[in-house]
Amino acid sequence: MLKAMVIFSGGLDSTTCLYWALDRFDEVHTLTFDYNQRHSIEVEYAEKTIRLAEQIKNKRIKRHRFFIDLAQIGASALTDRSIEVPKGRSMEEIGSGIPITYVPFRNGIFLSITAAVCEVNGIEHIIGGWNVLDYSGYPDCRKPFLNACEEAMNHGTKLGSEGGRFHILTPLISLKKSEIIMLGKKHGADYSYSYSCYEGKEIPCGKCDACILRAKAFQEAGLKDDFLVRLRNEGVR
């Protein structure tokens, strides 16, 4: 039986990965991190997205949730509420430099924990929504970093020392955001509860980097955003 673990924030990218994995693996697990992030509402919406995926794909998804307080480290607008989330930036600004929404070594921390959870559950395939084409400012989303993490996992675990091997899968790494959406739709993805906004409010602000990139992606894909359609249908927006 092929098993996979999806590192699942519940956002656009990880939701695409979830549907992609459900079409490829016999048993799919999700690992969602509650790291005291400003937009902790994403954890609530992640569960709703998983339930919706189970209904659409008629498959059970095994959930894991891990609590870790990265606010103790700070230095990011996502974990330090005294730092303002950037708003209204141009695409040129978004695509240049490392933004203040970068959480120091977040993916390294998440991957280390994910490896431990996977080892206990006999899972060798780890899937994440890392991509660099539209938003290359995060150094821990790049392929060389992920390759290095995979090697470290295989050198530093019981699984690796006994002949097993972890595989970090990056199905979105070379895709634009619009292409990610189209890939998700190809696999039946519903983004009605996939949450992106850095502000963490029920109604997305529409002005932070995540909202701007998401709106641009749906526009380029020629599709309406499922999340906004749901809000309008519910009379919230």
Segment 67-115, tens digit of pLDDT: 999 999 999 999 999 999 999 999 889 888 899 999 999 999 999 999 9
Single out the residue of 58, 38, 45, 57 nearest to residue 14, CA to CA.
Answer: 45
Q: How many Cβ atoms from other residues are within 10 Å of residue 72's Cβ?
A: 9
Q: How many Cβ atoms from other residues are within 10 Å of residue 235's Cβ?
A: 6
218 pLDDT more than 90: yes
According to the model, what pLDDT value does residue 132 have?
Answer: 81
Distances (CA, A) of 67 to 113, 193, 206: 11, 21, 28
Q: What is the mean pLDDT of residues 157-183?
A: 96
Q: Which CATH architecture has domain 3-233?
A: 3-Layer(aba) Sandwich (3.40)
On whether the CB atoms of residues 237 and 202 are closer than 8 A, the answer is no
pTM: 0.97
Give the tokens for residue 77. 């607008």
Cα separation, 174 vs 179, in Å, equals 9
* Residues 8-35 pLDDT 10s: 999 999 999 999 999 999 999 999 999 9
On whether the CB atoms of residues 155 and 43 are closer than 8 A, the answer is no
Which stretches of the chain are DSSP H helices? Answer: 12-22, 41-57, 91-94, 106-121, 143-155, 158-161, 177-186, 209-221, 226-233
According to the model, what pLDDT value does residue 212 have?
Answer: 95
Q: Where in the chain are the domains?
A: 3-233
On whether the CB atoms of residues 73 and 79 are closer than 8 A, the answer is yes
Share of the chain above pLDDT 90, in %: 92
According to the model, what pLDDT value does residue 95 have?
Answer: 83
* Residues 137-153 pLDDT 10s: 789 999 999 999 999 99
According to the model, what pLDDT value does residue 135 have?
Answer: 59
According to the model, what pLDDT value does residue 237 have?
Answer: 65
